[in-house]
């Protein structure tokens, strides 16, 4: 009898695949090494060898990713199979990593989730997202500590106006969340993905807050966020 994979393990595997897709292709071998303890822990949780665990878990994780973005219990099997194949080859080399990132971009751009009224919080910040629901499922399965985000933003609000930098707070929170998700204090993510994730965390985190931001603040944050992404190589961050 085949043992059923744990729901918790599958959620972590989904998060891991998103982390894999965020990694710049040229750093994929570093990422593979850094993620080895996480992969081993996932296999151990379900009493399997690492290769056996991922052989079974990756197709189901990819099915769930496609299902979320297609808003369907029965996602397109061709899409699932293509994503699964790319995920299995993503660790091999930079070319494999780039192909997997491209497949994830295609899946997460599905209009069934990207349309304004289909986003997670369509009237609480998600309407201004520059990459509609590219990061929402990752946020859901990795359970961020939004209380910490609220405290960071409150601390910024308590500073003199000229010293406030809510963008820096959001990017720092996103970085810390990535570290926690991978289990190592090292980031493997491009500027565009980090900025997109930071905005997603801000929108979903503030949607749960007793003090949601007014629309103009989301718009101002997103404008500054996009500038930060574009200037990343030049500002040395």
The pLDDT of residue 167 is 87
Neighbours of 173 (CB within 10 A): 24
User: Per-residue pLDDT tens for 119-131?
Assistant: 999 888 899 998 8
Spatial distance between the Cα atoms of 78 and 100, rounded to a whole number of angstroms? 15
Sign of the torsion formed by the C-alpha atoms of 83, 96, 180 and 107:
negative
pTM of the model: 0.93
Spatial distance between the Cα atoms of 34 and 40, rounded to a whole number of angstroms? 11
pLDDT beneath 70: ranges in the chain: 1-2, 211, 233-237
The pLDDT of residue 234 is 47
The pLDDT of residue 2 is 65
The pLDDT of residue 233 is 64
222 close to 130: Cβ distance less than 8 angstroms:
yes
Surface-to-core class of residue 32, CB atoms within 10 Å of its CB (0-12 exposed, 13-18 middle, 19+ buried): middle
DSSP 15-67: HHHHHHHHS-GGGHHHHHHHTHHHHHHHHHHTT--HHHHHHHHHHHHHHHHHH
The pLDDT of residue 166 is 85
The pLDDT of residue 204 is 93
Residue-range domain boundaries for the chain = 7-114, 116-232
């Amino acid at each position: 009898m085949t043992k059923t994979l744990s729901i918790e393990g599958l959620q972590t595997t989904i998060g891991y695949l998103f982390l894999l897709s965020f990694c710049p292709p040229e750093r994929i071998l570093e990422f593979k090494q850094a993620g080895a303890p996480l992969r081993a822990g996932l296999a151990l949780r379900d009493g399997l060898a690492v290769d056996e665990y991922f052989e079974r878990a990756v197709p189901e994780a990819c099915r769930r990713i496609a299902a979320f973005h297609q808003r369907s219990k029965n996602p397109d099997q061709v899409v699932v199979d293509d994503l699964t194949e790319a995920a299995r080859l993503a660790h091999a080399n930079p070319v494999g990593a780039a192909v997997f990132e491209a497949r994830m971009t295609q899946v997460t751009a599905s209009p069934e989730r990207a349309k304004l009224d289909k986003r997670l919080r369509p009237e609480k910040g998600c309407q201004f997202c520059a990459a509609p629901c590219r990061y929402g499922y990752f946020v859901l399965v990795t359970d961020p500590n939004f209380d910490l985000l609220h405290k960071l933003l409150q601390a910024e609000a308590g500073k003199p106006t000229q010293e406030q930098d809510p963008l820096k707070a959001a990017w720092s929170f996103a970085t810390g969340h990535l570290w926690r998700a991978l289990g190592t204090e090292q980031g493997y993510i491009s500027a565009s993905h980090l900025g997109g994730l930071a905005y997603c965390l801000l929108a979903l985190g503030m949607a749960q807050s007793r003090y949601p931001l007014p629309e103009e603040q989301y718009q101002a944050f997103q404008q500054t966020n996009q500038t930060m992404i574009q200037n990343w190589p030049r500002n040395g961050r």
